[in-house]
Amino acid sequence: MDAEVMKRQFLEHTEIERGRAVKTIENYDRYLTRFFAYAQIKDTSDITEEKIREFRMWLNRQPGTANASMKRRTQNYYLIALRAFLKFLRKRDVQALSPEKIELAKLPERSLDLITPLELNRLLEAAEGDDEKSLRDKAILELLFSTGLRVSELCSLDSDLDLSRDEFSVRGKGEKVRVVFLSDEAKSAVKAYLKARKDMEEALFVNIPAKTKEGAPQKRTASRLTPRSVERMIKIYAAKAGITKKVTPHVLRHSFATDLLSNGADIRSVQQLLGHASINTTQIYTHVTDSHLREVHKKFHNRRS
């Protein structure tokens, strides 16, 4: 079967029927195209274990960041795309290599970028002032910590958010809908920001035109904030709060999850609140629930009489 034709069908199936994000489709296309070019794949029957092994060796020798070779995690992205493609072929009854033949490289356990509760408080308090921009930034910080939203989910919110309730639905990865909950602080911050807004944009969070030297707003149309803009904003407030670690919107998502777990929430509930498709993804936070081990060690180890 023509490999390019099947690749196109696979990408269309992944986007339309499986509802994956456009960015995921673009990445799958790039990974498969690179493999096809290197291994000279014309027909699906050309995909063999030997060609995949050679491709993996080639990937491992490609340059990555800081003059190092390509990271294993990045190499695995290629293999995940290829494995998904082979699974698609099997469902379509196309004779091809079994996807089970592809094993991913083992990775070291992920480490979490975390900030302490004191640093978190300083960050949440860093956006002070009653001007529109400060109120917007305060609302963003409080909302991220209250809900555990991904930055892309935050940026997709519209201003018709129902603040009469303590919860709202959000559409996350894979078009899956989940419910997130608002703290009193987050609700108050969003209300204050909406009251101060002067634009009529549909988006909840918009950029705010800078002032001219005379103090009048620049004539520039407000537009929906991008994830990159939120990342830059949080970086500025982290520096203002005296936090030397790298702080991103995802760090606030980590803080949301660890705060829940350290206060007794079960891992399955946290999985649902974060919108993780697999419990394995949520397992990176279990170090929090293991904190009692320190006390066990102190209490029972090396108690010499």
Report the catalytic residues: 150, 173, 250, 253, 276, 285
Task: Tokens for 203, please give them.
Answer: 């988006």
Q: Which residues pair with 257 in a beta bridge?
A: none
Q: Which of 35, 25, 16, 23 is nearest to 97 (CA)?
A: 35
Task: Tokens for 160, please give them.
Answer: 């018709």
Cβ-in-10-Å burial (0-12, 13-18, 19+) of 243 comes to buried
Query: What DSSP assignment string belongs to 165-234?
Result: SSEEEEE-GGG-EEEEE--HHHHHHHHHHHHH-----SBSSB--PPB-TTSPBPS----BPPHHHHHHHH
Distance CA 61, CA 55 (A): 10
**CA within 13 Å, CB half, 205:** 27
Unique residue bearing structure tokens 């990045």: 74
Distance CA 287, CA 104 (A): 24
List b or e across 167-187, with b for residues whose CB sees 16 or more CB atoms inside 10 angstroms.
eeebebeeeeeeebebeebbb
Query: What DSSP assignment string belongs to 29-47?
Result: HHHHHHHHHHHT--BGGG-
What DSSP character marks residue 290? Answer: T
Contact 85, 34 (CB under 8 A): no
What radius of gyration, in Å, describes the C-alpha atoms of the chain? 24
